[in-house]
Amino acid sequence: MSENERAASRTAVLVCQGRAAADGRVAAGRFSDPLAVRLLSAEERVPVDEVRAGVPPEGWQARSRYEGVRACAEVMVPRTVAIDGALRAHVTPQLVILGAGLDTRAWRLPELARTDVWEVDHPASQRDKRARLTEAAQRLRGSEESGGPAAELPVVARSVRFTPVDFSVDDLGAALDGAGHDPSVPTTWLWEGVVPYLTRAEVRATVAALAARTAPGSALVVNYQAPSAKASVGRLLARAMGGAITSGEPWRSLWKPRRMQALLAEHGLRVVSDDDLRSLTHALGGTARGRTSLRSGRVAVAESPGDED
């Protein structure tokens, strides 16, 4: 299988499992994603239910799946709370979600009622999500056996447009043009959990492409991973194991905050906040036990100057 023909993202499923495991259990009132579990298959829900029950299963494989989902839930809570907050603070007529995976915001954030959403993702991941949405809607209406017409989950955003793009080969600007995105209208860009999977050149090209479509009054919310000694050891280990512990989706680029800030500044985007997930966890009253992805995971918000600036 060539890179462009690759399978749907497994890490998108893992982060969805993390959100499903945390929903209603962790940081209640601040974090919630009740739709996440609906996007999972029965098999994918097994470790989610185990984590929710706090009962680790027997056996190495089941236990490592359990630990993966449990660790992921810890990361997803601060990441989601920070990003949801940033999106609420930057409501614009257009929201483009880059590498959307199993993101549910267009289905759950009422603040998006007057916002058109473009979900941009690798074609394989996007096909997988659309199939999951249809299955979830069919389950919801109990029409699985009846074979009735494909239903849709109710979208709360003004609209959702699915836009398949492989950042490593496709032209993001042309794809968004074709999907009706208007570069003269303010846009909020969300880029969550994707930057590490892209090379530095792909990250630079994507920032350049989005900046070229960023009207005054727009914003970018970007989640990225900063380098750390532990993350480097983890990457080396993953490489040595031939992708067995990265679901075939290795990390390709880590960014020091000042480098990310400089890259965005080069394209007219001024960073107004950049927080690490561990501090965000503490702010939510949680105890982050030094997990690397919490320490090095960050959420930055950058703004393009408004007309009046």
Ligand X SMILES: C[S@@+](CC[C@H](N)C(=O)[O-])C[C@H]1O[C@@H](n2cnc3c(N)ncnc32)[C@H](O)[C@@H]1O
Give the interface with ligand X as residue ranges (CB under 6 A): 9, 11-12, 15, 99-103, 121-122, 125, 165-168, 192-194, 197
Closer residue to ligand X, CB minimum distance, 195 or 264: 195
Q: How many residues does the chain have?
A: 309
Closer residue to ligand X, CB minimum distance, 101 or 186: 101
Cβ at position 291, least distance to ligand X in Å? 16
* Cβ burial, residue 215 (10 Å; 0-12/13-18/19+): middle
Closer residue to ligand X, CB minimum distance, 4 or 232: 4
Closer residue to ligand X, CB minimum distance, 122 or 132: 122
One-letter identity of residue 171: D
Cβ at position 52, least distance to ligand X in Å? 19
Closer residue to ligand X, CB minimum distance, 26 or 217: 26
Structure tokens at 150: 């494909």
Cβ at position 207, least distance to ligand X in Å? 14
Q: Is the dihedral of CA 169, 172, 173, 174 positive or negative?
A: positive
Closer residue to ligand X, CB minimum distance, 163 or 304: 163
Cβ at position 186, least distance to ligand X in Å? 21
Describe the chain by its helix, strand, coil percentages, rounded to 5: 45, 15, 40
Cβ at position 196, least distance to ligand X in Å? 8
To the nearest 10 degrees (0 to 180), the angle between helices 10-22 and 60-89 is 80
Q: Which residue do the tokens 């060539």 mark?
A: 2
Contact (Cβ atoms closer than 8 angstroms) between residue 37 and residue 23:
yes
* DSSP reduced 3-state for 75: helix
Q: Of all residues in this chain, which one has the CB nearest to ligand X in the complex? A: 101
Cβ at position 35, least distance to ligand X in Å? 12
Helix (H) or strand (E) holding 66: helix 60-89
Cα 264 from Cα 229, distance rounded (Å)? 25
